Amino acid sequence: MSDAEGTVPLARLLAMAYGDLIDQLHARLRADGWADVRPAYGFVLLATRAGSQSLTELASRLEVSKQAASKLVESMVAADYLTYVTDGGDSRVKGVALSDRGRRLLAAVEGIYADLEAGWAELIGARAVETMRRHLLTVVRARHDGELPTVRPPDGR
Amino acid sequence: MSDAEGTVPLARLLAMAYGDLIDQLHARLRADGWADVRPAYGFVLLATRAGSQSLTELASRLEVSKQAASKLVESMVAADYLTYVTDGGDSRVKGVALSDRGRRLLAAVEGIYADLEAGWAELIGARAVETMRRHLLTVVRARHDGELPTVRPPDGR
DNA sequence: TACGATCGTCAAGTACATTGACGAATGGAG
DNA sequence: CTCCATTCGTCAATGTACTTGACGATCGTA
């Protein structure tokens, strides 16, 4: 589809651009030796970066069921991106925190994103990249009472 | 996560913005009576808008297996968004085209997107919306030999 | 002490995808 | 005209990721 068929909706462009960035992110992670990173891991790392949280809290942030969150975390613990921690003395609560390897992965992801954005800056200009960032922040915050939401795993279901 | 924690990567902002647009799109579709629209339908409608195609071609465009495409199409035919057509005299080939209802849905989607973009224009300015569109076109085309790809259904799996 | 609420696990189920085999149809070489 | 390689779409089997609701253990409050 070309724009000879009219203006391309922003939603499609956002989807394409996002898909490209994610494809490139994972390609570079694999090239750098991060072979076992599933797409959903990024959302968990982001949700956990500020500190440990319970499975139930994580499930809520990701907008999935407790069991889905539990299985996701289980596989990330097995891959040593997360670690279980004791959290506040309540034996019911299973605390989840970034492991050292998880922090390194998060740093790698952020480095690659910076790199990809530098590529965008070459195409459209560094100022345009910052303007786009600012405008996207504005429209997203407008929908979330001024805050940024966590991003749930995308669901085609 | 706030930008007190540093610059928010564009990928995350794109994901949030896209998720918001899709959520609003489906909420408005439901409000307008389009009760049975699954997220994956949009990709098929888009891939089919230019004219009929075979199941195998559609599967290729959506980057899914032939069976996945077949099942998706089957449910869209049942919902009267698509129709099977005779295609080119090759009895092996199952042609798939938009139905009248499918065309109306596509028009409804485009109208809603225009509306949502008008909302963005109120927040960041109409010129900023067009600038963003142009810049996104640039960066996406740079990755696809000057063309725009079809957008495959997102897969967090 | 008792009870309602919470946490995380479990079982059962759903949706959507994959791979590879297969039969029918096609087209081209011999 | 025949034969064979290829293509199309369906089928079966399988896998992944998710859901709901029940349940036992734990907690906090009355």
Model pLDDT for residues B64-118, shown as the tens digit of each residue: 999 999 999 999 999 999 999 987 789 999 999 999 999 999 999 999 999 999 9
ipTM: 0.85
CA of A38 vs C1' of D25, distance in Å?
Answer: 33
CB contact under 8 A, A131 and B129: no
The CATH number of B9-142, from 2.60.120.10, 1.10.10.10, 3.90.1210.10, 1.20.1050.10, is 1.10.10.10
Distances (CA, A) of A81 to A64, A109, A146, B5, B115: 20, 13, 30, 21, 42
| Neighbouring residues of B105: CB distance < 8 A, sequence distance ≥ 6 | B29, B34, B37, B41, B45, B81
What are the backbone dihedrals phi and psi of residue A94, each rounded to the nearest 5 degrees, phi first? -105, 110
Collect all residues of chain A within an 8 Å Cβ-Cβ radius of residue B45: none
Q: Which residue has the higher pLDDT, B3 or A19?
A: A19
Give residues 81-110 of chain A lying near strand C (Cβ < 7 A). Answer: 90, 92-95
B21 at A interface, C-beta within 8 A = yes
Task: Give yes or no for A108 touching B (CB within 8 A).
Answer: no
Q: Specify the amino acid at residue A84.
A: Y
Cβ–Cβ of B151/A19 closer than 8 Å? yes
- The answer to whether strand D lies under 7 Å from the CB of residue B95 is yes
CATH class, domain A10-142, is mainly alpha
Could you give the CA distance from residue B123 to residue B92 in angstroms, rounded to a whole number? 52
Give the pLDDT band (50/70/90) at residue A152.
low
Phi, psi of B84, deg, nearest 5: -80, 140
B149 touches A: beta carbon within 8 Å: yes
Higher pLDDT, A50 or B99: B99
pLDDT band at residue B152 under the 50/70/90 scheme: low
Three-class SS state of A137: helix
